[in-house]
Structure 1
Amino acid sequence: MWFDAWADVLRTLAVGSAAYVTVVLVLRVSGKRTLSQLNAFDFVVTVALGSTLATILLSSDVAWAEGFTALAVLALLQFVVAWITTRWPVTKKAVTSEPVILVKGGILQDVAIRRNRLTASEVCQAVRGSGYGDLAGIEAVVLETNGTISVIASSTYGNGSAMEGVTQSP
């Protein structure tokens, strides 16, 4: 349980070092989007990369070359999906969700809140967490594509140009 053999420890050191360098290289080549977590799909890829690295480090059944291939495939597929969704907007809907407005002009949008499996108290918690104690001073609360909640005060709303593409409640 505490120690099996020096060979296993040395393998972890050697393969771990090589896998670390590989991850750094793959991430540098694939670009910032690979770990961006802009949406749920990006988050899943980030978790998959971490899981793959852990498997390479700890499983003697996985050779470094196999691990490198797995990391490269994940990064390549992330690149391909990002490339496709930026060029053909219709494909973006298959991979990502749209941001949704939960509060508009200080009024809770109950249908949107329920549709997104949230409660009014969770929305109010996000408002309080942003330093506001009253919905009346809030122009918009948006559930973003990555699951975070953005709170926009009436005083900072401006012309609302950042709200383009946000799904409005019926």
Structure 2
Amino acid sequence: MDIAAMFFQDWEGIVRTVLVGALAYVTLVLFLRISGKRTLAKLNAFDLVVTVALGSTLSAIVLQESVALAEGATALALLILAQYLVASFSVRSQRFAAAVRSEPALLARNGAFCAQSMKRERVTQDEAISAIRSQGGHSVSEVESLVLESDGTISVSFLAASAS
């Protein structure tokens, strides 16, 4: 095993990474400006998947010599186009929207956990309490509602008596 090769192989690889990386980044920014704010909105699980896939694709373009810039740009454009089409069809068809979008789930209400909902959504009480703490609370008894949103975040509304 060549330990030196783990740290440096040649200047050609570094120059390629700098040039292709800069061009791929500019390409991604340009595509995102063209496609609009919705592309990175993370409003639902599909949006989150596209965002992660864009990052992964950019990484592959920059680091894998077997991926040419034109191929990578095509992959980025394809992901953005797919996200655009799904969002467009979702706006036009309730059935399509229901198929690709998850609905928010109530995890706690009026100071008590909704056990069935938490089980269905695979959220533990420790995870829920952590979300409560991250938004300034201490326990579920302070919570009016705890909602697992479509994008995977947890929203907390506190009972009026608990508000400081």
TM range (shorter): 0.7 to 0.9
Aligned Cα root-mean-square deviation (Å): 1.8
Aligned to 2:28: 23
- Which residue of 129, 146, 156 corresponds with 1:151? 156
Aligned to 2:119: 114
In the alignment, residue 9 of structure 2 is paired with which amino acid? D
User: For residues 88-146 of structure 1, what are the alpha-carbon distances to aligned partners after superposition, in whole Å with 9 as ceiling and x for unaligned?
Assistant: 12111221210011112222211111111122332233223322234444221111111
* Number of residues of Structure 1 aligned to a counterpart in Structure 2: 156
Q: Is 2:83 the counterpart of 1:78? A: yes
Gapped regions of structure 2 (runs ≥ 5)? none
Q: Conserved in 2, the CA contact under 8 Å of 1:110 and 1:120?
A: no
**Helix, strand or coil for the counterpart of 2:106?**
strand
Aligned to 1:55: 60
In the alignment, residue 121 of structure 2 is paired with which amino acid? N
Provide the C-alpha distance between the structure 2 equivalents of 1:144 and 1:65, rounded to a whole number of angstroms.
Answer: 37
**Helix, strand or coil for the counterpart of 1:62?**
coil
- Relative to the length of structure 1, the TM-score reads 0.83
Aligned to 1:10: 15
Q: Is 2:73 the counterpart of 1:68? A: yes
Q: Alpha carbons of 1:13 and 1:111: their partners in 2 closer, same or farther (altered >3 Å)?
A: same
Aligned to 2:39: 34
Provide the C-alpha distance between the structure 1 equivalents of 2:126 and 2:64, rounded to a whole number of angstroms.
Answer: 44
Q: Alpha carbons of 1:12 and 1:124: their partners in 2 closer, same or farther (altered >3 Å)?
A: closer
**Helix, strand or coil for the counterpart of 1:37?**
coil
Moved more, 128-137 or 48-57: 128-137
- Which residue of 38, 46, 53 corresponds with 2:51? 46
Provide the C-alpha distance between the structure 1 equivalents of 2:46 and 2:127, rounded to a whole number of angstroms.
Answer: 23
Moved more, 17-26 or 120-129: 120-129
Moved more, 3-12 or 82-91: 3-12
What's the % identity of the aligned pairs?
A: 48
Alignment of 1:106-145 (within 5 A): 106-145=111-150
User: For residues 26-69 of structure 1, what are the alpha-carbon distances to aligned partners after superposition, in whole Å with 9 as ceiling and x for unaligned?
Assistant: 11111112222222211111111111111111111111111111
